Amino acid sequence: MNLTIDKRNWKKIRLDDVIEWYQKDIPNNEQVKHGVQFYVTANHIDGDSIKFDRYSNIDDGQKGPTITKHFKKGDLLLSTRSVALRKAAIAPIDGVTGEKLLVLRIKHNSELISQLFPFVFQSIDFWEFAQNSASGSVNKFTSWTKIREYEFLLPPKDQQAQLAELLWAMDEVIEREKEVLNHLKFSYLSVIEKSLIARDAQKIFFKDLVHVVRGVGYKPEQLLDGNDTQSCILLRSNNIFNGSLNYDGINLIPLNLVKSEQFLKEGDFAICMSNGSKELVGKCGEFTGENRKVTIGSFCAALRPKNNDNRRLVRHLVNSESYRVVIKRTLSGSAINNLKPSDIQNLFIRIDNNALRSNVLDNLDSLLNNMKSVEIKISSSKSLQKSLINQIF
């Protein structure tokens, strides 16, 4: 979608002409007295999001001592660390945050209207400026002193209002699609826990469902820079998500270094076997048969179902809360959060045999397919919105 925009009467401005860095510190021992209830960290904010809806209560026992920077509903919180993650979103509540998040707000009598304010920080142009001006080699970080220099064209206020109305209308469409997705997820997980899994049913061991193929570690000098037909995608633990695989930041290795059984087959599940967090160990993503050769690296493994019925069952089990419970139970008491192939083989979940003979798996397949369709719609809507933002800024 392309807009025909006449920018001849737009004015070039610097970010700090219209936006200020709000700095108010509320010490930890005074936060309750000031009515502070919630805190926000960068983990609460998703990249490329206009706003966020996750936050924590200040008395949850997890709040760090440096989280003392005040913000109000409608302020924009921008993460100065790991700039490539592009985290800058509008706060839905009042609260406190840490020094790694900038609290930004519109200046009094600003030429920028509040409705267009958050979209300034969603353009490719802004994040390229932030990335290029950032410091650090791996996790690049920025500061207000640097990003305040960012320049962009600002339309007259009447045009700002029209553009903001269009962009927020698209955001409303995305939010409605997210609501549909959340409803489907709730239904999907409920069917798994209430219809497929039964606390008093027989144990189903993973060793009866899958073969476990251990991942292989490769030396840095074996990795390839280029991409050719004689290379293979090497998946690592950070490429594995619950229910899916991600190919961002992948490494490539020569095909001739990979044994035939190490290539992922359609229907295999890549699993994270080691990570710094118990929440991440055991996460599983299904390989759906991409056109490239794919293998798994160290700290990972592949679960290879013994037949198609097992594949369907495993697909849903690894998405369930019961699966997460047995993974945590296996890891409990361990100083290092590692799974061994024998740990996976000895995992068990109690499955209702009557459910397997009925249409429960069919219903779960249908719900999962519907979820994926909605996710595609959300991705498409976000891409369209991002395209419009980039045309404006």
- pLDDT digits 0-9 by tens, 83-124: 888 999 999 999 999 999 999 999 999 999 999 999 999 999
How many C-beta atoms surround the C-beta of residue 28 within 10 A?
15
Tokens, residue 327: 């993974």
| pLDDT given for residue 199 in this prediction | 80
pLDDT digits (tens, 9 = 90+) for 227-257: 667 888 898 888 888 778 888 777 888 888 8
User: For tokens 């932030």, what's the residue?
Assistant: 130
Burial 50-62, CB ≥16 within 10 A → b, else e: bbbeebbebeeee
pLDDT of residue 279: 73
Q: Is 358 left (phi over 0), alpha (psi -120 to 50) or beta?
A: beta
User: Given phi > 0 = left and psi -120 to 50 = alpha, else beta, which region is 139?
Assistant: beta
Per-residue pLDDT, 229: 72
As given in the structure block, the two tokens for residue 349 are 């979940």
Report the C-alpha gap between 393 and 11 in whole angstroms: 12
- Tell me if 268 sits within 8 A of 302, measured CB to CB: yes
Q: List residues bridging with 226 in a β-sheet.
A: none
Distance of alpha carbon 11 from alpha carbon 338, whole angstroms = 56
Residue 295, judged by CB atoms within 10 A of its CB (0-12, 13-18, 19+), counts as buried
For the chain, what's the residue count?
393
Backbone angles phi, psi at 241, to 5 degrees: -125, 165
What token pair was written down for 309?
Answer: 């019925």
Provide the pLDDT for residue 334.
57
Q: What 3-state DSSP class applies to 361?
A: helix
How confident is the model at residue 71, as a pLDDT? 96
Closest CA to 117 of 180, 81, 74: 74
The per-residue pLDDT for 138 is 62
Residue 3 pLDDT > 70: no
Q: What is the pLDDT of residue 313?
A: 92
Q: Where residue 5 falls among pLDDT bands split at 50, 70, 90?
A: confident
Q: Indicate yes or no: pTM above 0.85.
A: no
Q: Please give the single-letter amino acid code of residue 389.
A: I
Rounded CA-CA distance 173/167 in Å is 10
Which range (163-172, 211-220, 326-335, 364-373) has the least confidence? 326-335
Q: What is the pLDDT of residues 171-230, one digit of tens each?
A: 999 999 999 999 999 999 999 999 898 888 888 999 999 999 999 888 888 888 766 678
Torsion of CA 254, 255, 257, 261, to 10 degrees: 150
pLDDT mean over 48-77: 93
The C-alpha angle 374, 375, 376, rounded to 5 degrees, equals: 90
How far lies 81's CA from each of 61, 126, 236, in Å? 24, 15, 23
Per-residue model confidence (pLDDT) at position 100 = 92
Q: What is the pLDDT of residue 137?
A: 65
Identify the pLDDT of residue 54: 92
Name the pairing type of β-strands 231-235 and 294-296: parallel
Tokens 């549909």 map to which residue?
A: 180
Q: Tell me what pLDDT residue 336 has.
A: 64
* pLDDT, position 332: 65
Average pLDDT over residues 361-382: 94
Q: Indicate the average pLDDT of the chain.
A: 89
**Confidence at residue 380, expressed as pLDDT on a 0 to 100 scale:** 93
The answer, yes or no, to whether residue 135 has pLDDT greater than 80, is yes
Q: What is the pLDDT of residue 61?
A: 87
With bands split at pLDDT 50, 70 and 90, how would you rate the model's confidence at 335? low
